[in-house]
Amino acid sequence: MNDKTPFHTFSENTKNVCGLTAFTLLLLVASMSYPMPLRTLGLVKVITVFILLYVLVINFTETNSLVQNIPNIFDDEMLSEFRNNALLSYLLSFLLGVFVCFLIFTILF
């Protein structure tokens, strides 16, 4: 039996997204800090782009699922906590998308 509310499911999946994002950013910072050949640095950037794209898709999918499963999330004042979580999650998705575009730009140019 799955008696979790949509918000609990969203929270559990967001924990995974947060952990994977932190690991990826740590990997990227560590690769930039230590002296490495440019080829290895490029490979690390490509790997981080793929991981961040995966995180972006998961985060966006989970946020859409939360918004669809809680009716009137943007209309009801009593749901302001859920609304704020959804809006911040969309903001995270947007910022991850911008960061991925920046990484792709630095890999290509």
For 39-94, the pLDDT digits (tens) are 777 888 899 999 999 999 999 999 999 999 998 999 999 999 999 999 999 999 99
Higher pLDDT, 51 or 5: 51
pTM to 2 decimals? 0.87
State how far the Cα of 46 lies from the Cα of 108, in Å rounded to an integer.
10
Q: How many domains does the chain have?
A: 1
Q: Does 19 fall in a domain?
A: yes
The domain of 38 spans 6-108
Under a CB-based contact definition with an 8 Å cutoff, are residues 89 and 62 in contact? yes
Indicate whether 45 belongs to any domain.
yes
DSSP code for 70? S
pLDDT given for residue 24 in this prediction: 94
In a domain, 1, yes or no: no
Instruction: Count the neighbouring beta carbons within 10 Å of the beta carbon of residue 75.
Output: 8
